[in-house]
Amino acid sequence: MPNTSNSPQEKTPAPAIRAYLGGSFDPVHNGHLEVAMSVYQHLLPIATRLQRTLHVSLLPNARSPFKTQSTDPSHRLNMLKLATENTPIQINELELWQAPPVYTIDSIHTLRQQYPDDSLIFIMGMDSAHSLDKWKDGLRLTDHVNLWVFNRQSSTDVSDGISEKFSDSIISSENNTATTQDIATLQSQLPLSLQPHITDSPIELLVPPTQYSTDRLNSNSTDPTSTDLKSPDLKNANQGRIYIDSRPITAVSSTQIREQLQKLDDQTNKIPVAQRQIASIASINDIISNTESNPLAKWLNPAVYQYIIAHQLYSAAQFR
C-alpha cells in the first residue's frame, strides 16, 4: 500500500543551494561563464546527492556611479541573456534596476530575507575578499552568506562594497593544483577576522540554517540561552564559511575588451563606407570560428558580439 502520509515534513522541499556571481558584466564575456559554470559543475553532484535544488546566478549591478559611460542596464541584461542561453546559469535582476550606489551588504540582506532557509553563496576573487574590510560592512557578509573565493591572480580597483565583484576572470587549465603552502598563503590574504571561517570543503557551504538550528537543538548543549541558538546571524550559528578555490585563474578585463572594441571601431571607420559592412561581417565570422585574427574571439560569445555591433556599443557612435 503506497505511503499517503500528509506529513508537512514530507511535503517541505529541501532548502535550495543558491550561488551568485556579481559584476557589471559590461560586457559579459566567457570568463564570467567559465567561473559560474565551474561552481555549478562542482556543486551539481553534491546537490543531486543531497536532493537539493541548485541555482547559480549572475547578479548584474546597477549603473556604476564611478563610470561616466556605463552601458545601459537593458543592453547589459540582453547580452547576459544571449550569453547564458542553453546553459544552466541564471540571471538575477535584484540590483540591476536600483538607483546607485547599491551595496553588496544590502543585496545580501534582501536575498537572505527572500530565502531564509536556503544555502546562499557569494562568489568572488581573492582580490575582492582581501579588501572586504574596505567595503561597506564587508566583514559582515559572512553573517548572512557563505563565500566561494577564487584565486584570482590580478587585481582591480577596490570598490566600497558596491556590487562590482569578480567581474573579469577565467579559470586556468594549467597549473590546476596548489600546494599546502600555496593554500596557506591564500588564506593569509583574508582579513584576520575572517580567517577562522575558512573551510577546506565546499560541502560546508551547504548546511542550511534550519538544519543547523535543528542539529543544535538536538545536541547535548547545556545552555539553552546560548547566543548560537538565539541569533539569526549565520556566523553566530557557525555558518558564514569561506571556501578558497585554489585553482589559479587568469584575469581578462572587461575594460580591455571595451578598449579593443573601440579600437576595432576606429579601424572600421577608416574603411570606405561601401566596405564597412563586409568588414563587420568578417569580424563576426572571426568570433564564430574562434580564429586568432580577432583577439576578442577567445572572450566573447558570438551572439553577444553581434549584439554589440548591431547596437554600436563600446564605440564612438554610442556616445554621440
pLDDT at 96 (0 to 100):
94
Q: In a 10 Å sphere around its CB, with 0-12 CB exposed, 13-18 middle and 19+ buried, how is residue 177 labelled?
A: exposed
Span 244-267, average pLDDT: 75
Per-residue pLDDT reduced to its tens digit, 13-30: 789 999 999 999 999 998
For residue 90, the cross-strand partners are 57
What is the pTM (predicted TM-score) of this model? 0.77
pLDDT at 161 (0 to 100):
63
Amino acid at 5: S
In terms of DSSP bridges, do strands 169-171 and 242-251 run parallel, antiparallel, or are they unpaired? antiparallel
In terms of DSSP bridges, do strands 169-171 and 146-152 run parallel, antiparallel, or are they unpaired? unpaired
Per-residue pLDDT reduced to its tens digit, 82-100: 999 999 999 999 999 998 8
Scan for cell 553534491, then name that residue.
46
Scan for cell 591572480, then name that residue.
153
User: What are the grid coordinates assigned to 56, written together?
Assistant: 547559480
CB atoms near residue 147 (< 10 Å): 23
Scan for cell 553563496, then name that residue.
121
DSSP structure string for 12-27:
SPPPPEEEEEEE--TT
pLDDT at 171 (0 to 100):
54
Maximum pairwise Cα distance, the chain? 83
Per-residue pLDDT reduced to its tens digit, 123-144: 998 888 889 999 999 999 999 9
What is the distance between the alpha carbons of residues 121 and 123, in angstroms, rounded to a whole number? 6
pLDDT over 70 (residue 66):
no
Residue 225: band (very low, low, confident or very high) from pLDDT cuts 50, 70, 90: very low
| Percent of the chain whose pLDDT exceeds 90 | 39
